[in-house]
Amino acid sequence: MLLTLEGLDGSGKTTAWEALRHARPDATFTHEPTDTWYGEAVRRSLGDDDADPLADLFLFTADHADHLSRVVRPALADGEVVISDRYTDSRYAYQAASLADTEIRRPLEYVRGIHGAFTREPDATIYLDVDPETAAARAGATDKFERAAFLAEVQSNYERLIDAEPERFVRVDAGRSPEAVIDAVEDVADRLIDAFHGDGDVADVDADSDAARDD
Ligand SMILES: Nc1ncnc2c1ncn2[C@@H]1O[C@H](COP(=O)(O)OP(=O)(O)OP(=O)(O)O)[C@@H](O)[C@H]1O
Ligand SMILES: Cc1cn([C@H]2C[C@H](O)[C@@H](COP(=O)(O)O)O2)c(=O)[nH]c1=O
């Protein structure tokens, strides 16, 4: 099973992913950008405010192609649960936002189209939902994407992705304390993994249990 964590910068994905890693030592934990030289190239580009948005897209996509063939597909072929901190939806949401002012028409569809020929879509995605101002403040504006106005565009792309595939996404309110968010993510992940392995249907899992509830 491929389970991904998505959300704005500062939404708490890495905090939740680290907690899951302790709770589920049997799973394969991975992330994008990766720690390979492809990931290093991506991080260099992230640090360049003048980088061309199409160049950014193809660097991130190269990193994803390597990640797929080297980590994700082999682990899935071994029957493992793979949990990735960011994955394809990050490209659909972020690069579609950064391509919005370019010659590319319908950027979200364009970025999805590039991936369609080769990627492996997630079986389920936990979306950590936080407003762009909180996200930017938590993230500390260390790179060009960590600004509230840009993150608002990214958020609206995530909402489009969720609207298009509501059965794949589980939304968790990430505006709460770290402890509450971790509890909710652990609870949702447990139920998604159980459902995937035959104890139900992934599409029926929502954030509506005691741990995951918004209040
Ligand atoms: N629920 C929370 N409430 C307040 N602060 C939080 C919460 N979750 C995480 N943080 C803090 O916000 C910062 C970003 O958290 P984290 O790295 O987990 O987010 P992220 O979504 O992985 O961000 P990025 O995508 O930028 O790597 C960290 O300083 C972390 O301690
Ligand atoms: C995978 C991926 C990431 N990004 C952006 C999102 C963040 O601003 C940075 C780095 O991610 P991290 O979680 O802070 O390590 O990169 C992106 O724009 N497109 C992608 O595909």
Ligand 1: does its nearest atom lie under 6 Å from the Cβ of 69?
no
Q: Which two tokens stand for residue 180?
A: 């509450």
| Global pTM value | 0.96
**How many A from CA of 14 to the centre of ligand 1?**
7
Rounded distance between C-alpha atoms, residue 57 and residue 104, angstroms: 12
Provide the pLDDT for residue 209.
55
Is the separation of the CB atoms in 98 and 143 below 8 Å?
no
Architecture of domain 2-212: 3-Layer(aba) Sandwich (3.40)
Ligand 1 atom with the shortest distance to the CA of 177: 1
Rounded distance between C-alpha atoms, residue 117 and residue 108, angstroms: 15
Rounded distance between C-alpha atoms, residue 59 and residue 48, angstroms: 13
Average pLDDT along the chain: 94
Is the separation of the CB atoms in 120 and 2 below 8 Å?
yes
Residue 28 pLDDT > 80, yes or no? yes
pLDDT digits (tens, 9 = 90+) for 100-142: 999 999 999 999 999 999 999 999 999 999 999 999 999 998 7
Looking at the DSSP bridge assignments, the partners of residue 83 are 3, 29
Residue 44 pLDDT > 50, yes or no? yes
For residue 33, cis peptide bond before it (omega within 30 degrees of 0): yes
**How many A from CA of 8 to the centre of ligand 1?**
10
Q: Quick one: average pLDDT of 155-162?
A: 98
Looking at the DSSP bridge assignments, the partners of residue 88 are none
**How many A from CA of 1 to the centre of ligand 1?**
25
How far, rounded to the nearest angstrom, does the alpha carbon of residue 83 sit from its chain's CA centroid? 10
Binding residues: 7-14
This model of the complex carries an ipTM of 0.98
Q: What is the separation, in whole angstroms, between the first and last Cα of the chain? A: 30
